[in-house]
Structure 1
């Protein structure tokens, strides 16, 4: 698919400079360089100003709240290093609590930051961030989420230490190395003639539908995963399958692998444990839904790969 990397969190050409991660003197020099900058995240939220990620100098006072090891994300085009700090230990004042729910629209302001600098949920920024900011933020959030849940060795249970500038953990006891986890998930644009198959999960906002999706199992190809997941969730059988595009999805650690499958049946029989409902939607209905004029159908949120796949299908741009 020629437009694959236009998807949110798609490749922005970031130089991840992996060769520097294990070079302790080089990392120390970068941490001292005046041009080095860092992103600040609080409980997965990104510090932004005017819809751009704040790039803070390493002596910024808000970083006194940081906990754990800063992550090395890479180098900008200028050659300046970019890191990420986790400020999740900070407790905001009254009126700044997270409301929860499907989408967190709250914003938090730290007193050490400028008035226009606030922490915002990354999913609310999907269509607002520039590609480079989006890739940096997704990388940082995914890494911090992994560290938060992998502090102990999966082999022996002993505590592990952060190494490789945040890209590895090593067990103190048995020496086992552990690397950031990414879970492969197929997400499917399933079509049959002039219609596509959409479903909705339990707890989604009223009327919201999206492409079916599911985790790839061990020993399974992407094509087989597409056919299995669609049949398990909807009862629809799928024939030819092809890859279209992928999207890092750091909520907490998935790689969404977008595929196009051609349905060989159209009768729907859902698994009520997996999804709430599924339906065939015509191109005409989907156009109306994208325009916000359909009374009972709202497509996947903008910035998601599902929205990207559906919009490109409507525009005949799946080549």
Structure 2
């Protein structure tokens, strides 16, 4: 964590060259493309056709390979501009999403709400019963589904780690008064399963995965249940979010929930929505820290970018102003990290060089 803090703080010694959110004529005039739900066909767009700089491609690829990347994709208006695999990984290889998959849970929560199964403002115990924590009943009843979406449950985060068994979910603060990055959000999966009368994975597959042509499965990893898929499946999800929850003309997630999910969700960590990280805000908090840092999380990243960020540098970057989605899967770029590292900022220097 010291390395993470140092790397991100050091970014503020430099001018934020990623603040421009301007579009070019190509991206604004071209229609959004969606690959077929079945099959492997996916339209492409060349670097030259976009007017980007071919000479910036190899330095980016060299950096990605150096930093233990397994796969990398850039979409513009849904079309593949770059798709590269490294270190024995391939288009058919599956890899874990880690905490990038938190945004899958957020999306399914929104879908369950729009279908009338839940209300995120209701307390969690309405759906999974009381004593799901070790808190007193009055404190437990303060915790709503929205608190789980926004990381403001008030659950103790350091002493008990990411264990979400009831005995380990102990009181630290009243719900809504403290932001902390914690695995307790997975209780939303239990909420959805109970409310819908389906297993989490069955509901996920029917309402999201199969509707947009993803592959993948939820599997245990490091005492968590995490999503594994190929890289194009992660890109499909990013494209869905770029289009505000619609797959072509089909509404998967309603735009009201999407807008809330990708906007500041509480007044403690301005750079956090509903399990999405938000760039371009005036301050941010980091995992395992109560410190508030000034400025944007990724200084070189576009200000309107929202992000799914996972352990060991799993990344989904969505940039509405550029009609762009960027995906990175792989091992940790440097040391093992929870979600954020200085890798993000350097990577965006390389990406910016493509078109600036």
For the pair shown, the structure with the greater C-alpha radius of gyration is 1
Structure with the largest fraction of strand: 1
TM interval, short-chain normalised: under 0.3
Structure with the greater relative contact order (CA < 8 A, sep ≥ 6): 1 or 2?
2
TM-score (norm 2): 0.24
TM-score (norm 1): 0.25
Structure with the largest fraction of helix: 2
